[in-house]
């Protein structure tokens, strides 16, 4: 006798399905736009640090023994510390026949080929057969860094 109520759970209407598909389509479009934006961002170049400040850092002042020195073959230079806090640099190429000097000790830079010896103070010849002093090289000392100018 009581009237039948119409169904409380209607089948999904066509409109509901279309709305769902539409939402997915919009999400996909947004994702595509997002990735394009990120790939077109500009890049920033990192700074080069010490190299850009002028000169190549050869060593720390503490690397150079007082009264002695150190040879930097790759740079063709020998750096000496004739007295505390005074640094000098000379070519590491012997003026006799062009060997690379190999040792710095007791105030002299020595060549292994024919045993010439040069002063750590001014590069002058202390012992032949070389007759010409080692040429000066330009260095700068800033803080505790020794740079090749
Ligand atoms: S090349 Fe150095 S002493 Fe001869």
pLDDT tens digit sequence for 19-62: 555 555 444 444 444 444 444 444 444 434 344 456 789 999 99
Ligand 1 centroid–CA 61 distance in Å is 28
Give the Cα separation of 13 and 137 in Å (integer).
89
117 and 109 Cβ atoms separated by less than 8 Å:
yes
In a domain, 14, yes or no: no
Give the Cα separation of 35 and 47 in Å (integer).
28
With the most atoms of ligand 1 within 8 angstroms of its CB, the residue from 100, 108, 114 to mutate is 114
Mean pLDDT, the chain, as a whole number?
78
At residue 94 the predicted structure's pLDDT band, cuts being 50, 70 and 90, is: very high
Of residues 40 and 135, more confidently modeled: 135
- pLDDT, residue 21, reads 53
In a domain, 94, yes or no: yes
With the most atoms of ligand 1 within 8 angstroms of its CB, the residue from 91, 92, 103, 116 to mutate is 116
In a domain, 68, yes or no: yes
At residue 75 the predicted structure's pLDDT band, cuts being 50, 70 and 90, is: very high
How many domains does the structure of the chain reveal?
1
In a domain, 113, yes or no: yes
- Which of 125, 62, 68 shows the shortest CA–CA distance to 78? 68
Stated pTM of the model: 0.64
In a domain, 17, yes or no: no
- pLDDT, residue 33, reads 47
* Apex 5 CA angle, 2 and 11, nearest 5: 160
In a domain, 75, yes or no: yes
| Confidence check: pLDDT of 4 > 70 | no
What is the DSSP secondary structure assignment for residue 85, as one 8-state letter? T
- pLDDT, residue 144, reads 93
Domain with residue 85: its CATH number is 2.102.10.10
Of residues 114 and 8, more confidently modeled: 114
How far CA 102 is from CA of 19, 28, 59, 72, in Å, comes to 84, 70, 18, 10
In a domain, 42, yes or no: no
In a domain, 133, yes or no: yes
- pLDDT, residue 112, reads 97
Give the Cα separation of 75 and 91 in Å (integer).
9
Q: Which domain holds residue 83?
A: 55-148
């Amino acid at each position: 006798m009581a009237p039948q109520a119409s169904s409380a759970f209607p089948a999904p209407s066509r409109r509901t399905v279309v709305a769902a598909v539409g939402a997915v389509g919009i999400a996909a479009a947004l994702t595509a736009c997002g990735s394009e934006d990120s790939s077109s961002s500009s890049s920033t170049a990192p700074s080069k640090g010490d190299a850009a400040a002028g000169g190549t850092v050869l060593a720390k002042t503490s690397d150079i023994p007082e009264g002695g020195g150190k040879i930097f073959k790759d740079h063709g230079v020998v750096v000496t510390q004739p007295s505390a806090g005074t640094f000098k640099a000379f070519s590491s190429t012997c003026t006799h026949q062009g060997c690379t000097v190999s040792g710095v000790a007791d105030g002299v830079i020595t060549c292994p080929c024919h045993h010439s010896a040069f002063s750590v103070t001014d590069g002058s010849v202390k012992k032949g057969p070389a007759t010409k002093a080692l040429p000066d090289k330009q260095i700068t000392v800033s803080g505790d860094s020794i740079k090749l100018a």
